[in-house]
Amino acid sequence: MGQSASRNPDPSDLHVGIIMDGNGRWAARQGLARVQGHRAGALAVHRSLAAAYCFGVDVLTLFAFSEDNWHRPPREVATLLEIFEGFLRDEAAWLRSSGIRQSVIGRRDRLPRSLLEAIEQAEGSTAAGRAMDFRLAIDYSGREAILGAARLVSKGSLVPEEEFARLLAAATHAPSSSPEIDLLIRTGGEQRLSDLPLWEIAYAELYFTDRMWPDFDAADLAAALDSFRRRDRRFGRILELAVS
């Protein structure tokens, strides 16, 4: 997407994505039900969002529920959806006062009515926020997002990359063109993408941590950002100094 080799976003240009994994194992280790892990996970969302805001992150995308997570037991799914709704309702006021724009990306046609209302209220009341973009991915699939964008392309037309990113955003209800992720963090020890971001991570720096999501805190985010800043992002090029 036309990056220059010297592109090295300062924190105010940074898009961080987090695959928040490990709630169930965190709970099991303490003899708790999985849903207790999800409740603790919601507190970690607040903590991480506040930390990202303090660290000057420009866009934070948190992957909360994948398309394949519908295959979990109905009670777990129902509790997760309730937690999302409660989170959106509880956080909207401070997001608004902090200038944080909330959006929810993913499919909407399978979400319960009350969750949809909470999403629309949170998005509406924080729409003017310019300090930071906070995107929560619910019922999200990277492949489905790309297919959705492809369906919006007129038959036979050639679509420039920037336009495709715009269609991708439209297909997932994102408020603005799908921004590339600079740093993708996955907690919980697994080193995979689980059909979450695909298009947006073409040149993302990947950071995997064994920390279970409910334990993730500001120090963990700081460590990930520190690792990111030490990476040499070349975007397929070589340093001009190395040309002989």
Q: Which residues are catalytic?
A: 21, 69
Binding site for Mg ion (CB under 5 A): 21
The piece of 17-25, 87-95, 217-225, 229-237 that touches ligand IPE (CB under 6 A) is: 17-25
Q: How far is the CB of 168 from ligand IPE (least distance, A)?
A: 18
One of 15, 16, 22, 204 touching ligand IPE (CB under 6 A): 22
Q: Which long-range contacts (CB under 8 A, 24 or more apart) does 80-86 make?
A: 80/35, 80/38, 81/111, 81/112, 81/115, 83/38, 83/39, 83/41, 83/42, 84/115, 84/118, 84/136, 84/138, 85/112, 85/114, 85/115, 85/118, 86/42
Site for ligand IPE contains 87 (CB under 6 A): no
Q: How far is the CB of 20 from ligand IPE (least distance, A)?
A: 5
Site for ligand IPE contains 90 (CB under 6 A): no
Site for ligand IPE contains 82 (CB under 6 A): no
- Binding to ligand IPE, residues 44-63 (CB under 6 A): 63
The piece of 93-101, 163-171, 189-197, 218-226 that touches ligand IPE (CB under 6 A) is: 189-197
Site for ligand IPE contains 192 (CB under 6 A): yes
Site for ligand IPE contains 103 (CB under 6 A): no
Residues in contact with ligand IPE, counted by CB under 6 A, come to a total of 18
Q: Do the Cβ atoms of 139 and 65 come closer than 8 Å?
A: yes
- Binding to ligand IPE, residues 206-235 (CB under 6 A): 213
Give me the torsion for CA of 121, 137, 23, 231, rounded to 10°.
Answer: -130
Which partner from the list Mg ion, ligand IPE, none does 80 bind, CB cut-off 5 to 8 Å by kind?
Answer: ligand IPE
One of 5, 11, 25, 173 touching ligand IPE (CB under 6 A): 25
Q: Which is nearer to ligand IPE, 136 or 149 (CB)?
A: 136
Q: HSE (CB half, 13 Å, CA atoms) of 181?
A: 25
Among the listed residues 171, 214, 233, 204, the one whose alpha carbon sits nearest the alpha carbon of residue 61: 204
Q: Do the Cβ atoms of 115 and 108 come closer than 8 Å?
A: no
Q: Work out the angle at residue 134's Cα, subtended by the Cα atoms of residues 97 and 55, and round it to the nearest 5 degrees.
A: 80
Q: How far is the CB of 48 from ligand IPE (least distance, A)?
A: 13
Q: How far is the CB of 68 from Mg ion (least distance, A)?
A: 10
β-pair type (205-208, 15-19) = unpaired
Among the listed residues 217, 215, 219, 211, the one whose alpha carbon sits nearest the alpha carbon of residue 186: 211
Which parts of this chain interact with ligand IPE (CB under 6 A)? 19-25, 63-66, 69, 80, 188, 190, 192, 194, 213
